[in-house]
Amino acid sequence: MLFSLPKEVRDGLESARVSDLVRKSRLRIVADGRAYPVIRISDDGFSLSPDAPHLRGLVDLYEGARAVAQCLIIASSEDRGEMRYEFKRRTEVADRPPLDFERDETAPVALLSRRPEAAP
């Protein structure tokens, strides 16, 4: 049996679905000092709740308190109560500065010096 729900009920169900996704997400975007929870993320972009402003430019992607990436984004489309953004550039955050040389895999990690003999 097929039936149609009233528009208010459909809107309420969609709003509940989006708020549940926002509540469960640990990812967030920080732009201009404000944080917005990420609903869904993929290799080419992410989506936010529709009440987020239309962002464009450089933003930071966080998972909890840990910085994950710095992204250049543009607003793409709005679909099913989610505002979709695409990555123009996504640079992963490293925990150490980049090396300017190739590190040999067989090189020793540290050097141990000999301990001087104790004098009698």
Domains along the chain? Answer: 27-92 (2.40.10.430)
Distance CA 84, CA 49 (A): 9
pLDDT(88) > 90? yes
DSSP bridge partners of 41: 46
Q: Is there a contact between 31 and 25 (Cβ–Cβ < 8 Å)?
A: no
Q: How confident is the model at residue 87 (pLDDT cuts 50, 70, 90)?
A: very high
Residue with tokens 């308190």: 65
What global pTM score does this model have?
0.62
| Ramachandran region, residue 33 (left: φ > 0; alpha: ψ -120 to 50; beta: rest) | left
- Highest average pLDDT, of 42-51, 84-93, 106-115, comes from 84-93
